[in-house]
Chain A
Amino acid sequence: MTEFTALSRRGALRLGAAVLTIAAAPKVWAQAAAPAAPTGPFSLPKRSYEANALEPHIDAQTMDIHYNRHHAAYVAALNNAAKDNGVIAKASLADLLADLGQLPDNLRTVVRNNGGGHANHSMFWEVMGPGAGGAPGGDLAAAITRDLGGFDKFKADFEAAGLRVFGSGWVFVTVDRGGRLAVLPRPNQDSPLMEKQLVLFGNDVWEHAYYLKYQNRRADYLKSWWNVVDWSKIGARYAAAKAGTLAI
């Protein structure tokens, strides 16, 4: 998460709380209580664009609920778990996910689901943006050719992998310190970080990511998603991975 590493946890917490407050304006769908503003070490990362910025590919309402409800719920649950456990409160998210085994049984699943959800969504907002799309450049483009058979083949394989996830999950591209890439689908909120692999980027194929606009047509969503993929952000993450500074 290159963008956010400069923020102190306290700073990130304030930002996250501010975003949540602003976005909590009443809407038709907002009848249920929003998760309480996070009180704890984890917070919603700031998104650098508005909820409607990815229209028409991802609609504003989906973005709003996805960020302010689903992601916020993962953050709130993770903070709740941190109250009961000093390790969760002090460790970085990347370290927590890389070593779920150190946690007691009653908290391991909570952190796997909600910590995974927090990491996956933080990455997700970061790698999308308005006026994006197109194709990667530089050594990332070369790595896609070398490891994934070229950009067109990669896109087709990535979409097929996303389509094959049965039920909720993600399709990721992992990267190692040497810059090698691989496509890796995972169920629910599992993250390659849990297998000590780095995430270059990924797409959310939980139905909540696309149902309001695409309903059962996940294939259309996967195809459309390329229009909002910000290759400059992913290029920065690729450089960070090789430099050893990419966290989540």
Chain B
Amino acid sequence: MSFTLPDLPYAHDALQPFMSKETLEYHHDKHHLAYVNNGNNAIKGTEFEGKSLEEIVKGSYGKNPAVFNNAGQHYNHLHFWKWMKPNGGGKIPGALEKAIVDAFGSVDKFKEDFVAAGVGQFGSGWAWLEVKGGKLAVSKTPNGESPLVNGATPILGVDVWEHSYYIDYRNRRPDYLKAFLESLVNWEYVAELYDAAKA
């Protein structure tokens, strides 16, 4: 099954002013497309041909950087677009909110930890809310890695590669992370992934 670039689930300008049309045009139409194309080329003729994306990500990690980097980023970006929506942020669905409070003490403490993970990821990478061993945790990973390679399931992730925020926020990564949490997160999709991870 070869990779294909999904359409954005909203218009390119739908996340303004928190994420610009220009950022999404480059990020989705150029960067994500490059991961799709480079991934398809790297997989050709390897043991990964015909496997599911998650199998490819887990199986190529630490073994085949060309396959892993592109498959990992394809996986991360597939979800990233769905982790955002116009007029996002806001209220977290009840069961997930309760789980977040149980795990972190409060929603504010979770947000603080999530921003700290994003700021603390030195260089390109991602910050995550993951389910590991049935429990919620915040983590960070470099480049194209994700909680999948650490035996966890990501339910929310934010891209902290500079290409994700440099046009709109320049060097101000903390401002981007705060805007992501307050105004962009699609909590219904996060809750859906949480339920699936718990099941």
B124 touches A168 (CB 8 A): yes
**B154, CB-defined interface residue at 8 Å:** no
Interchain CA distance A31-B170 in the complex, whole Å: 10
Q: How far is the CB of B78 from chain A (nearest CB, A)?
A: 18
A31, A188, A207: which contacts B161 (Cβ < 8 A)?
A: A207
CB of A233 closer than 8 Å to a CB of B: no
CB of A80 within 8 Å of the partner chain: no
Tell whether, in the assembled complex, residue A216 and residue B34 are in contact, meaning their CB atoms are under 8 Å apart: yes
User: B171 contacts A69, CB within 8 Å?
Assistant: yes
Shortest distance in angstroms between A23's beta carbon and chain B's nearest beta carbon?
14
Residues of A within 8 A of B162 (CB): 168, 206-208, 211
Which chain A residue shows the least CB distance to B34?
A216
Quote the shortest CB–CB distance from A173 to chain B (angstroms): 21
* Alpha-carbon separation in the docked complex, A187 to B65 (Å): 14
Q: With CB as the reference atom, state the residue of chain B lying closest to A110.
A: B122
CB-based contact A65/B161 at 8 Å: no
Question: When the two chains form their complex, are residues A207 and B167 in contact, meaning their CB atoms are under 8 A apart?
Answer: no
Instruction: List A contacts of B174 (CB < 8 A).
Output: 32
A216 proximity list for chain B (CB < 8 A): 26, 30-31, 34, 163
Q: Is the CB of A169 within 8 A of B123?
A: yes
Q: State how many angstroms separate the Cβ of B34 from the closest Cβ of chain A.
A: 7
Other than the known A29-B170, A70-B171, A206-B162, what 9 A-B pairs have Cβ atoms closer than 8 Å? A31-B172, A32-B171, A32-B172, A32-B174, A166-B65, A167-B125, A189-B122, A215-B26, A216-B34
